[in-house]
Structures are given as C-alpha cells and as structure tokens.
C-alpha cells in the first residue's frame, strides 16, 4: 500500500471540544481542512487550544459547530503562552517530518518563525497565508500600546521573515498581495474561505414594486461594528418612505446584543430588525443569502481587514453597502461595493435607498459584484485553489 501524502496546517482557526469530547471549530474552517485532506492526503492541524475562544462563549458553543473528522484531520493542540514555547517548538519540528506540504496561518504560533528555515529544508513546499490581521494588528493603537517597546518592529519582522522563507504567499486581497510581493515573488490572491461557491453563477434577488426588501448583516455584535448606525439608517429610510417594507436579518452574536435590541426598540423599528444569533450551518446561511436584496457592513471603528461576508455576498451577486475602513476601500475601489464613510448613518441610509430603489444604480453594483465573482471562477473553493498551488507550485 502506497504511503499517504500528508499536509500540515498551522493556525487558521480556534479549537474547542464538543459535548462528546470531539474537536470542533467554525464550520468554514472545518470544511476547508476536510477538503484539503481530500485533495492532498491526511491533514495535521497544529492549532491553539489555549486562547480565549472557549472563555468568551463558555458553555454556549454557538460559533463552533464544525466537527472535525479524525479520519481526515489529526489535531496537535498547542499552548501559545510563553511557558509553552519550547514544547511547541519540539512538537513542530517533530510534526514537519514526512509532511511535504504546509499552509501556515499567522499570527498564531509566531514563536515558531525562527524554525521555518528547518521547515524549508524538511518540506517540499510550504506557503504562508497573509490575512487582514497583519495590518489590523500593526495599526491598532490599543494593541500596540499594550505591548512591550519594540514589539511592533518584531511583529513585522516575524511576518516578513516567514514570507521570505516560504515557497509562496497566499494573500487575502489585492493590498496584502502587494505588500507580500516585497518579500516573495510567488504571491497569489486567495479565494476567500467561507460559505462560497465561486464557480456558480447566481441570479440576483429581483425587486418587485410592492414586495418587502431584506437587508443582511453578518458579524460580531459589538459597538465598534456599527450596528446602531445600521438601525439608525434604516429608521431614516423608513421615515422617508412611510409605506416601505424593509427588514434587517442580523446573523451574529456578541456582548452588545442587548444594546442593539434596545436601540432598535427606541427607534420604533424593532419589528424590522430580526436578530437570529450566530449561524454556522451552510444551508441556513444559504437561505439568508438567497432572500437578501443587499448586505450592509456598517463598521465604525472596529479593526477590520477585508470582511469575508462582503465577498460572500458579491459572489452571489448581492450588492453591498460598506464603510471605508481598513482594507475595504483599497479592496473594493472599482465599483464592486457602494462605499460610505464610517459613523455616518445618513450615508448608509442613502446607500440602502440606492441599492433598494434605484434600479439603474443597483444594476451597476450587481455588475461590479459579478466582476468580483469572475476573479474566482477557476476554483470552486479556497481549498481547491490552495491544494493546486501546493501540489503544482503554480496556477498557470
């Protein structure tokens, strides 16, 4: 019997234990790992099991419902505290043996960066996944202020060192791809991980004259994500159009849920804002997308990279209103999304009206969404794209 190819994935998600002791993570991450295993062989996941994920949602397990199949994924749970550094290094060096492929998601396990030259010698090919948390972490003043002097320099140096050691870089978006090319010539832009079928052509939800319109929000429910701005914007639109039937479906949970519910109630629009909790099921998510006329990302001050929910909407030809924050204005600069200023509910209201009632403008943004979708049509998923890059070393 031929020996199985094996792939190593470092980071990329958080790990929990289910009620029967099984390992669970977010559904999109579990799907990604399983598909990588199907395409490249048994997968070893080297992942943080000591973070705050379980503490934040202790006893609820509402966001981590992707059960990992032990036949496809072996978990190596690591301790990312300072005490665990030596043990993690030993585990890593032992784990890379006889595993030709690797995908390293930073910043998890940043202490392993000095060992990457050894990984380069041991492995046939490994790549670094560069996501928005690179810029977000470096530019978040509160994060930097709470670190020791020189931390920012070391953080950047560790990231750039990892990219230089890797065979190539898989970047989340055009701006990060441009940054990565300073360190490595073999850079690709990734199909976003998530509930996406990039190769499938979707029909936009038609606008009937008197039919209800549905808006979608996906994300954490914390003050900095701008949910109150979204509710205030909807109130403005309803005041301008007294006979309009517009509802918001809110998919998410967080510490400020009660605050957002109270704000909607105080505005008198509680019947229009529906909080569904965190949705992990692919089928449930697909149903909400199928009924949405537009997605709104109203972030005000939250440190963002490029929210995956925007691409999840655009790939389905759902137009998007998004605030110009972090990587969003650079990533969607060519009419793919309707961009507005953060903390400006009046602009969000104008954007909602444009996408829901101006058919000509709506058609332009749907056309922009379809241009975005066409970037990914060669692949059905991020796992397919990444597996091909690792196996072939090129996408040509």
* CATH code where residue 342 lies: 3.40.50.2000
Q: Rg of the chain's alpha carbons, rounded to an integer?
A: 22
- Residues 6 or more apart whose CB falls under 8 angstroms from that of 84 comprise 50, 78
CA dihedral (309, 155, 166, 120) in degrees, to 10, reads -130
> Are 291 and 319 members of one domain?
yes
> 227-240 and 257-267 are packed helices; what angle lies between their axes, rounded to 10 degrees?
20
- Whether 357 and 384 map to the same domain: the answer is no
- Does residue 336 sit in the same domain as residue 388? no
Looking up tokens 């492929």 gives 101
Closest CA to 137 of 327, 312, 9, 296: 327
Structure tokens at 296: 């709104």
Is 184 inside any structural domain?
Answer: yes
Four-CA torsion 143, 148, 152, 157, nearest 10 degrees: -140
Q: Is residue 121 part of a domain?
A: yes
107 cis-preceded (ω within 30 degrees of 0): yes
pTM, full prediction: 0.83
If asked whether residues 65 and 99 sit together in one domain, one would say yes
- DSSP assignments along 240-261, one per residue: H-TT--EEEEEE---TTHHHHH
| Residues 163 and 271 both lie in one domain | no
- Is 28 in the same domain as 172? yes
Per-residue pLDDT of the chain in tens (396 residues, 90 and over written 9)? 344 678 999 988 878 887 788 888 888 899 999 999 999 999 999 987 743 334 333 334 445 678 899 999 999 888 766 677 788 888 888 888 878 999 999 776 677 888 889 999 899 999 999 987 676 666 666 655 666 677 677 778 888 899 999 999 999 888 889 889 999 999 999 988 876 654 454 556 667 667 789 999 998 899 989 999 999 999 999 999 988 999 999 999 889 999 999 999 999 999 999 999 988 777 888 899 989 999 999 988 876 777 888 988 998 889 999 999 878 888 888 889 999 999 999 999 999 999 999 999 999 999 998 888 888 778 888 999 999 999 998 876
Q: Are 174 and 352 in contact (CB under 8 A)?
A: no
Is the residue at 204 inside a domain? Answer: no
Identify whether residues 306 and 180 lie together within a single domain: no
Distance CA 121, CA 206 (A): 55
Residue 385 sits in the same domain as residue 354: no
CA distance 318 to 338: 12
| CA distance from start to end of the chain | 32
- The boundaries of the domain holding residue 97 are 6-191+379-392
Residue whose tokens read 């809110």: 250
Split into its structural domains, the chain has a count of: 2
Rounded to an integer, what distance in angstroms lies between the CA atom of residue 364 and that of residue 205? Answer: 15
By three-state DSSP, how is residue 215 classified?
strand
């Amino acid at each position: 019997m031929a020996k199985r190819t094996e792939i190593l994935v470092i980071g990329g998600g958080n790990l929990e234990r289910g009620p029967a002791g099984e390992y669970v993570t977010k559904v999109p991450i579990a799907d990604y790992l399983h598909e990588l295993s199907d395409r490249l062989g048994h997968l070893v996941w080297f992942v943080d099991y000591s973070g705050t994920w379980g503490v934040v949602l202790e006893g609820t397990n509402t966001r981590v419902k992707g059960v990992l199949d032990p036949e496809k994924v072996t978990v190596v749970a690591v301790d990312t505290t300072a005490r665990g550094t030596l043990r993690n290094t030993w585990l890593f060096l032992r784990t890379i043996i006889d595993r030709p492929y690797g995908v390293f998601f930073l910043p998890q396990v940043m202490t392993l960066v000095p060992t990457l030259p050894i990984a380069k010698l041991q492995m046939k090919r490994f790549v670094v996944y560069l996501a928005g948390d690179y810029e977000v972490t470096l530019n978040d003043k509160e994060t930097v202020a709470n670190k020791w002097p020189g931390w920012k320099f070391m953080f950047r140096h560790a990231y750039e060192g990892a990219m230089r050691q890797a065979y190539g870089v898989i970047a989340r978006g055009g701006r990060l791809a441009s940054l990565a090319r300073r360190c490595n010539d073999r850079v690709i832009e990734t199909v976003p991980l998530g509930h996406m079928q990039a190769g499938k052509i979707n029909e936009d939800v038609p606008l009937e004259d008197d039919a209800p319109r549905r808006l979608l929000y996906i994300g954490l429910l914390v003050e900095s994500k701008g949910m109150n701005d979204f509710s205030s914007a909807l109130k403005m639109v309803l005041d301008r159009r007294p006979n309009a039937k517009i509802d918001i479906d809110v998919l998410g949970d967080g510490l400020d849920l009660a605050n957002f519910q109270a704000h909607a109630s105080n505005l008198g629009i509680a019947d229009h804002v529906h909080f569904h909790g965190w949705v992990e099921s692919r089928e449930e998510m697909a149903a909400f997308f199928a009924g949405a006329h537009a997605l709104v990302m109203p972030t005000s001050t939250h440190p963002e990279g490029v929210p995956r929910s925007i691409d999840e909407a655009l790939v389905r030809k759902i137009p998007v209103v998004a605030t110009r924050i972090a990587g969003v204005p650079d990533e969607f600069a060519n009419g793919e999304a309707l961009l507005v200023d953060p903390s400006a509910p009046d602009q969000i209201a104008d954007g909602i009206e444009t996408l829901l009632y101006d058919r000509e403008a709506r058609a332009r943004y749907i056309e922009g969404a379809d241009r975005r979708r066409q970037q990914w049509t060669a692949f059905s998923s991020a796992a397919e794209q990444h597996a091909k890059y690792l196996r072939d070393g090129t996408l040509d």
